[in-house]
Amino acid sequence: MELKLFIFAFVVVPAYLLLTLVCMTWAYRWAARRKVTVAGKSATVLGVLILALAIPFGDHIVGYAYFSHLCRNESGTKIHRMVPDVEGMWWWAADGKTAQALGYRFIEGGTDPHRVTRYEIKGGGMIEHKDVPMASRYVFRSKTPEHIHMGIVRGRSTIEDLQLKEMLGETTVFQYRGGWLARTLLAGFGGSAGLCGTEIVQYEQNGVDAIGMDYSKMTPLLVEAVNALRAEKDSEIRAMRAEKNSEIRAIRAKTDAEIAALQNRLDSLEQMVAQLASTAEESSK
Protein backbone atom coordinates (compact mmCIF):
# COMPACT_ATOMS: atom_id res chain seq x y z
CA MET A 1 0.00 0.00 0.00
CA GLU A 2 2.77 2.46 0.88
CA LEU A 3 4.55 1.72 -2.43
CA LYS A 4 1.30 2.23 -4.34
CA LEU A 5 0.71 5.59 -2.64
CA PHE A 6 4.32 6.62 -3.27
CA ILE A 7 4.06 5.81 -6.98
CA PHE A 8 0.70 7.56 -7.18
CA ALA A 9 1.89 10.71 -5.39
CA PHE A 10 5.32 11.12 -7.01
CA VAL A 11 4.86 9.53 -10.43
CA VAL A 12 1.23 9.38 -11.54
CA VAL A 13 0.10 12.77 -10.22
CA PRO A 14 3.11 14.76 -11.60
CA ALA A 15 2.80 12.98 -14.96
CA TYR A 16 -0.92 13.74 -15.17
CA LEU A 17 -0.38 17.39 -14.21
CA LEU A 18 2.34 17.69 -16.83
CA LEU A 19 0.03 16.16 -19.44
CA THR A 20 -2.69 18.59 -18.39
CA LEU A 21 -0.30 21.53 -18.75
CA VAL A 22 0.73 20.35 -22.21
CA CYS A 23 -2.91 20.06 -23.28
CA MET A 24 -3.69 23.53 -21.95
CA THR A 25 -0.69 25.00 -23.82
CA TRP A 26 -1.75 23.26 -27.03
CA ALA A 27 -5.33 24.50 -26.60
CA TYR A 28 -4.11 28.07 -26.09
CA ARG A 29 -1.93 27.95 -29.25
CA TRP A 30 -4.76 26.36 -31.19
CA ALA A 31 -7.07 29.22 -30.19
CA ALA A 32 -4.34 31.79 -30.98
CA ARG A 33 -3.89 30.44 -34.54
CA ARG A 34 -7.56 30.94 -35.15
CA LYS A 35 -7.34 34.52 -33.85
CA VAL A 36 -9.81 33.89 -31.02
CA THR A 37 -10.42 36.74 -28.59
CA VAL A 38 -8.70 36.80 -25.20
CA ALA A 39 -11.93 35.72 -23.55
CA GLY A 40 -12.21 32.84 -26.01
CA LYS A 41 -8.64 31.72 -25.32
CA SER A 42 -9.28 31.79 -21.59
CA ALA A 43 -12.49 29.81 -21.98
CA THR A 44 -10.70 27.19 -24.13
CA VAL A 45 -7.89 26.75 -21.60
CA LEU A 46 -10.40 26.62 -18.72
CA GLY A 47 -12.43 23.98 -20.55
CA VAL A 48 -9.36 21.78 -20.94
CA LEU A 49 -8.56 22.21 -17.23
CA ILE A 50 -12.12 21.28 -16.20
CA LEU A 51 -12.04 18.23 -18.46
CA ALA A 52 -8.70 17.16 -17.02
CA LEU A 53 -10.06 17.38 -13.49
CA ALA A 54 -13.31 15.62 -14.40
CA ILE A 55 -11.65 12.56 -15.96
CA PRO A 56 -10.26 11.08 -12.68
CA PHE A 57 -13.39 11.96 -10.69
CA GLY A 58 -16.17 11.60 -13.27
CA ASP A 59 -17.25 8.12 -12.18
CA HIS A 60 -17.07 9.26 -8.56
CA ILE A 61 -19.52 12.09 -9.25
CA VAL A 62 -21.95 9.84 -11.14
CA GLY A 63 -21.67 7.09 -8.52
CA TYR A 64 -22.31 9.50 -5.67
CA ALA A 65 -25.39 10.84 -7.44
CA TYR A 66 -26.79 7.30 -7.70
CA PHE A 67 -25.80 6.62 -4.08
CA SER A 68 -27.74 9.72 -2.98
CA HIS A 69 -30.77 8.50 -4.95
CA LEU A 70 -30.66 5.13 -3.16
CA CYS A 71 -30.30 6.84 0.22
CA ARG A 72 -33.36 9.00 -0.37
CA ASN A 73 -35.59 6.21 -1.66
CA GLU A 74 -34.48 2.87 -0.23
CA SER A 75 -32.42 3.32 2.96
CA GLY A 76 -33.68 3.37 6.53
CA THR A 77 -35.82 1.24 8.82
CA LYS A 78 -39.25 -0.14 7.96
CA ILE A 79 -41.54 -1.91 10.43
CA HIS A 80 -44.13 -4.12 8.73
CA ARG A 81 -45.81 -5.52 11.85
CA MET A 82 -45.38 -5.03 15.60
CA VAL A 83 -45.64 -7.90 18.07
CA PRO A 84 -46.52 -7.22 21.73
CA ASP A 85 -45.25 -9.12 24.77
CA VAL A 86 -42.12 -10.57 23.13
CA GLU A 87 -40.14 -12.47 25.77
CA GLY A 88 -36.97 -12.98 23.75
CA MET A 89 -35.30 -13.51 20.39
CA TRP A 90 -32.25 -15.00 18.66
CA TRP A 91 -29.33 -13.03 17.28
CA TRP A 92 -26.08 -14.82 16.55
CA ALA A 93 -23.87 -12.18 18.27
CA ALA A 94 -26.14 -11.57 21.28
CA ASP A 95 -24.91 -11.60 24.86
CA GLY A 96 -26.29 -10.82 28.30
CA LYS A 97 -25.87 -7.07 27.84
CA THR A 98 -28.07 -7.21 24.74
CA ALA A 99 -30.94 -8.78 26.70
CA GLN A 100 -30.63 -6.17 29.45
CA ALA A 101 -30.43 -3.29 26.95
CA LEU A 102 -33.52 -4.38 25.01
CA GLY A 103 -35.57 -5.32 28.05
CA TYR A 104 -36.27 -8.94 27.05
CA ARG A 105 -36.66 -11.78 29.53
CA PHE A 106 -34.08 -13.75 27.56
CA ILE A 107 -32.01 -13.57 24.40
CA GLU A 108 -30.27 -16.39 22.52
CA GLY A 109 -27.01 -16.22 20.59
CA GLY A 110 -24.59 -18.43 18.72
CA THR A 111 -23.76 -19.33 15.15
CA ASP A 112 -25.74 -22.59 15.27
CA PRO A 113 -29.45 -21.74 15.62
CA HIS A 114 -30.21 -25.30 16.79
CA ARG A 115 -27.82 -25.24 19.77
CA VAL A 116 -27.65 -21.78 21.30
CA THR A 117 -26.49 -19.94 24.39
CA ARG A 118 -29.46 -18.48 26.24
CA TYR A 119 -29.05 -15.44 28.52
CA GLU A 120 -32.02 -15.28 30.89
CA ILE A 121 -32.86 -12.30 33.08
CA LYS A 122 -34.23 -13.68 36.34
CA GLY A 123 -34.53 -12.33 39.86
CA GLY A 124 -32.59 -9.17 39.08
CA GLY A 125 -29.64 -11.20 37.74
CA MET A 126 -28.66 -13.05 34.59
CA ILE A 127 -28.41 -16.82 34.10
CA GLU A 128 -26.43 -18.26 31.19
CA HIS A 129 -27.56 -21.56 29.65
CA LYS A 130 -25.08 -23.05 27.17
CA ASP A 131 -25.75 -25.46 24.33
CA VAL A 132 -29.55 -25.56 24.63
CA PRO A 133 -32.23 -25.86 21.91
CA MET A 134 -33.43 -22.56 20.51
CA ALA A 135 -36.72 -21.40 22.00
CA SER A 136 -37.00 -18.07 20.18
CA ARG A 137 -39.79 -17.49 17.72
CA TYR A 138 -38.25 -14.26 16.46
CA VAL A 139 -34.76 -13.92 14.94
CA PHE A 140 -32.55 -11.01 13.91
CA ARG A 141 -30.53 -11.68 10.74
CA SER A 142 -27.83 -9.66 8.99
CA LYS A 143 -27.64 -10.38 5.28
CA THR A 144 -24.33 -10.70 3.43
CA PRO A 145 -23.35 -7.25 2.01
CA GLU A 146 -24.29 -6.96 -1.65
CA HIS A 147 -22.05 -5.07 -4.09
CA ILE A 148 -24.41 -3.32 -6.50
CA HIS A 149 -22.18 -1.34 -8.87
CA MET A 150 -20.23 1.91 -9.08
CA GLY A 151 -18.66 1.24 -5.69
CA ILE A 152 -21.98 1.00 -3.82
CA VAL A 153 -22.55 -1.70 -1.18
CA ARG A 154 -25.99 -2.55 0.18
CA GLY A 155 -26.53 -4.21 3.57
CA ARG A 156 -29.79 -5.47 5.05
CA SER A 157 -30.83 -6.60 8.52
CA THR A 158 -34.21 -8.16 9.23
CA ILE A 159 -36.39 -9.37 12.09
CA GLU A 160 -38.37 -12.48 11.17
CA ASP A 161 -41.17 -14.54 12.69
CA LEU A 162 -40.11 -18.18 12.27
CA GLN A 163 -43.55 -19.55 13.09
CA LEU A 164 -45.43 -17.50 10.50
CA LYS A 165 -42.41 -17.21 8.14
CA GLU A 166 -42.99 -13.46 8.02
CA MET A 167 -40.63 -10.49 7.96
CA LEU A 168 -41.59 -8.08 10.74
CA GLY A 169 -39.10 -5.31 9.94
CA GLU A 170 -35.94 -4.46 8.05
CA THR A 171 -33.11 -1.96 7.95
CA THR A 172 -31.36 -1.15 4.66
CA VAL A 173 -28.03 0.66 4.57
CA PHE A 174 -25.87 1.85 1.69
CA GLN A 175 -22.16 2.59 1.68
CA TYR A 176 -20.37 4.35 -1.15
CA ARG A 177 -16.68 3.49 -1.60
CA GLY A 178 -15.93 6.12 -4.21
CA GLY A 179 -14.94 5.99 -7.85
CA TRP A 180 -12.14 4.01 -9.45
CA LEU A 181 -9.47 6.40 -8.16
CA ALA A 182 -10.63 6.10 -4.53
CA ARG A 183 -11.23 2.34 -4.66
CA THR A 184 -8.07 1.32 -6.54
CA LEU A 185 -5.28 3.81 -5.91
CA LEU A 186 -6.43 5.11 -2.53
CA ALA A 187 -8.05 1.94 -1.14
CA GLY A 188 -7.91 1.96 2.63
CA PHE A 189 -6.50 5.49 2.73
CA GLY A 190 -9.53 7.71 2.78
CA GLY A 191 -12.17 5.37 4.25
CA SER A 192 -15.79 5.41 3.16
CA ALA A 193 -16.85 8.08 0.69
CA GLY A 194 -20.46 8.02 1.79
CA LEU A 195 -22.83 6.29 4.18
CA CYS A 196 -26.58 6.33 4.81
CA GLY A 197 -28.90 4.28 6.95
CA THR A 198 -26.87 2.70 9.75
CA GLU A 199 -23.29 1.55 9.41
CA ILE A 200 -23.41 -2.06 10.59
CA VAL A 201 -20.88 -3.93 8.48
CA GLN A 202 -17.13 -3.36 8.92
CA TYR A 203 -14.71 -4.15 6.10
CA GLU A 204 -11.07 -4.82 5.43
CA GLN A 205 -9.05 -1.95 3.95
CA ASN A 206 -9.76 -3.29 0.44
CA GLY A 207 -13.41 -2.34 0.95
CA VAL A 208 -14.61 -5.78 -0.14
CA ASP A 209 -14.12 -8.35 2.61
CA ALA A 210 -16.50 -8.04 5.56
CA ILE A 211 -14.77 -8.65 8.88
CA GLY A 212 -17.43 -7.87 11.47
CA MET A 213 -20.17 -5.57 12.69
CA ASP A 214 -20.30 -2.40 14.73
CA TYR A 215 -22.54 -3.56 17.56
CA SER A 216 -22.76 -0.11 19.10
CA LYS A 217 -24.83 0.88 16.07
CA MET A 218 -26.36 -2.54 15.42
CA THR A 219 -29.78 -2.23 17.02
CA PRO A 220 -31.67 0.63 15.35
CA LEU A 221 -34.33 -1.75 14.10
CA LEU A 222 -34.66 -3.48 17.46
CA VAL A 223 -34.72 -0.24 19.40
CA GLU A 224 -37.29 1.33 17.08
CA ALA A 225 -39.49 -1.77 17.34
CA VAL A 226 -39.17 -1.85 21.12
CA ASN A 227 -39.92 1.87 21.38
CA ALA A 228 -42.96 1.45 19.15
CA LEU A 229 -44.20 -1.42 21.28
CA ARG A 230 -43.60 0.56 24.44
CA ALA A 231 -45.54 3.49 23.01
CA GLU A 232 -48.37 1.13 22.10
CA LYS A 233 -48.35 -0.40 25.58
CA ASP A 234 -48.23 3.02 27.24
CA SER A 235 -51.26 4.03 25.19
CA GLU A 236 -53.09 0.88 26.26
CA ILE A 237 -52.19 1.50 29.91
CA ARG A 238 -53.44 5.09 29.70
CA ALA A 239 -56.69 3.89 28.12
CA MET A 240 -57.12 1.24 30.83
CA ARG A 241 -56.42 3.80 33.55
CA ALA A 242 -58.93 6.20 32.04
CA GLU A 243 -61.52 3.40 31.86
CA LYS A 244 -60.80 2.36 35.46
CA ASN A 245 -60.99 5.97 36.64
CA SER A 246 -64.32 6.33 34.90
CA GLU A 247 -65.60 3.15 36.57
CA ILE A 248 -64.30 4.34 39.96
CA ARG A 249 -66.06 7.70 39.52
CA ALA A 250 -69.31 5.94 38.62
CA ILE A 251 -69.07 3.63 41.63
CA ARG A 252 -68.25 6.57 43.90
CA ALA A 253 -71.22 8.56 42.59
CA LYS A 254 -73.52 5.56 43.10
CA THR A 255 -72.16 5.02 46.61
CA ASP A 256 -72.60 8.69 47.47
CA ALA A 257 -76.19 8.56 46.24
CA GLU A 258 -76.90 5.45 48.34
CA ILE A 259 -75.32 7.08 51.41
CA ALA A 260 -77.43 10.20 50.87
CA ALA A 261 -80.56 8.06 50.60
CA LEU A 262 -79.68 6.19 53.78
CA GLN A 263 -79.02 9.49 55.54
CA ASN A 264 -82.44 10.78 54.49
CA ARG A 265 -84.10 7.60 55.81
CA LEU A 266 -82.14 7.90 59.05
CA ASP A 267 -83.28 11.52 59.45
CA SER A 268 -86.90 10.43 58.87
CA LEU A 269 -86.57 7.69 61.49
CA GLU A 270 -85.13 10.16 63.99
CA GLN A 271 -88.08 12.48 63.40
CA MET A 272 -90.56 9.62 63.88
CA VAL A 273 -88.83 8.54 67.12
CA ALA A 274 -88.91 12.13 68.40
CA GLN A 275 -92.63 12.40 67.59
CA LEU A 276 -93.40 9.07 69.33
CA ALA A 277 -91.44 10.16 72.39
CA SER A 278 -93.33 13.44 72.55
CA THR A 279 -96.68 11.66 72.20
CA ALA A 280 -95.73 9.24 74.96
CA GLU A 281 -94.89 12.11 77.36
CA GLU A 282 -98.19 13.86 76.70
CA SER A 283 -100.11 10.63 77.35
CA SER A 284 -98.35 10.02 80.64
CA LYS A 285 -99.35 13.49 81.90
Do β-strands 152-161 and 194-196 pair in parallel, antiparallel, or remain unpaired? Answer: unpaired
- Rg over CA atoms, the chain: 38
pLDDT at 132: 92
Residues 199, 200, 201: CA angle, nearest 5 degrees:
105
pLDDT at 167: 92
Dihedral, 105, 135, 82, 168 alpha carbons, nearest 10: 140
**pLDDT string in tens for the chain (285-residue length):** 567 667 777 787 788 889 989 999 998 889 888 888 888 888 998 999 888 888 887 888 888 889 989 988 988 888 888 888 888 889 888 877 777 777 788 989 888 878 899 999 887 788 899 999 998 999 988 888 888 888 888 988 899 999 999 999 998 989 888 887 777 665 544 455 677 765 455 544 444 444 444 544 545 555 555 555 566 666 777 788 888 888 888 888 888 888 888 888 888 888 887 777 777 777 766
pTM above 0.75, yes or no: no
**Distance separating alpha carbons of residues 171 and 74, to the nearest angstrom:** 10
pLDDT at 232: 63
Residues in a beta bridge with 91:
140
Within 13 Å and on the Cβ side, how many CA atoms surround 55? 9
pLDDT at 224: 56
pLDDT at 214: 53
pLDDT at 86: 84
**Short-list 208, 57, 75, 67, CA closest to 150:** 67
Q: Where are the domains of the chain?
A: 2-73, 76-227
Do β-strands 106-109 and 115-122 pair in parallel, antiparallel, or remain unpaired? Answer: antiparallel
- φ/ψ (deg, to 5) at 224: -65, -40
Residue 36 DSSP one-character state: -
**Short-list 222, 245, 241, 184, CA closest to 60:** 184
